[in-house]
Amino acid sequence: MKSRRTTCVLLASLALGCGALIANAADAPKDNKGLTASKTTIVDLGPEFADAEISEILRREAICAKKCTDVEGEVASRLAAGKVVARFAGRMEYGPRALGNRSILCEATDPSTNARLNARLKRTEFMPFAPVVRRERLPDYFTGADKCPMALEFMTVTLNATEKCRQEAPAIVHLDGTARPQVIRRSVNPSYYNILKRYEEMTGLGILINTSFNVHEEPIVNTPGEALEVFRTGKLDTLVLGEYLIDRRSEPEDRVDFHRQRTTRT
């Protein structure tokens, strides 16, 4: 090691116990033996799968998929049509929340979405869903954000919903008028950010549901194979795997038919 000092990164997205231990160490400079604390906005520390790897998995599973040049636009158009879209892209995030790379997205306009989505994912009815909103649209939907700007990027605190939020996104507002939003900046996750931007251009709505890509009592998906399994069992409408898009009921035009490619080679 070039330095005898050890840097302790305090993440707002840590589980409570781990976060408390690190915070205590960082707050006691006389006893921490060189530990220091620093902020970070990057939590995508998990594995990432190249499109070539995903392509091979799809070929092996004989799955018909569409290779997209405009993934954000394709996802936004499906969300605008009321579809439930699972997104598997980039590195898996560290911590207790799905922050876009292993997420299920859908519109927040219909309160009955909670019951329908919970049923698909085998979750209990009391489990609420949280929203995602772009940083510049945050004041339109929530109040009190100035007290905890960093924590909001990790979906770990609740805010009071504005009247606009209650009207446009009733599916994410709790009974007490609060919600637990994720705030996204373009610099943190450009593709995820652009999905929200394109969705707003199509609908005029700047907020979506973001829930973890898993079924109840199972961990968040980590691999393309796990993503395909939850896509099937959860009866989701669309799955995005990197630059590939799979619709549950889709027309064959403009699609890469891996089954056809495999059979014609044999």
Q: Three-state DSSP class for 116?
A: helix
117-125 contacts at long range (C-beta below 8 A, 24 or more positions apart) = 117/84, 117/209, 117/211, 120/84, 120/234, 120/235, 120/236, 121/211, 121/214, 121/215, 121/216, 121/234, 122/215, 122/216, 122/217, 122/234, 123/215, 123/216, 124/216
Q: What is the mean pLDDT of each run of 10 residues along the chain (266 residues)?
A: 39 48 52 63 81 91 90 97 95 84 95 86 78 96 89 90 96 94 94 97 97 89 94 93 86 42 37
| Alpha carbons 77 and 203: distance in angstroms, whole number | 9
- Other CB atoms closer than 10 Å to residue 86's CB: what's the count? 25
| Alpha carbons 179 and 172: distance in angstroms, whole number | 6
Domains and CATH numbers, the chain: 6-38 (no CATH), 51-247 (3.90.870.20)
What does the pLDDT read at residue 139? 96
In the structure encoding, which two tokens stand for residue 159, read together? Answer: 């805010």
Closest by Cα among 104, 112, 114, 116 to 79: 104
What does the pLDDT read at residue 258? 41
Q: Are 238 and 247 in contact (CB under 8 A)?
A: yes
| Alpha carbons 196 and 184: distance in angstroms, whole number | 9
| Alpha carbons 71 and 65: distance in angstroms, whole number | 13
Q: Which residue in the block uniquely carries the two structure tokens 């709505």?
A: 205
| Alpha carbons 182 and 165: distance in angstroms, whole number | 14
Find the helix packing angle between 51-61 and 224-233, rounded to 10°: 50
| Alpha carbons 161 and 237: distance in angstroms, whole number | 29
Q: Which helix (H) or strand (E) holds 130?
A: strand 130-134
What does the pLDDT read at residue 127? 65
What does the pLDDT read at residue 16? 46
What does the pLDDT read at residue 92? 85
What does the pLDDT read at residue 146? 87
What does the pLDDT read at residue 37? 64
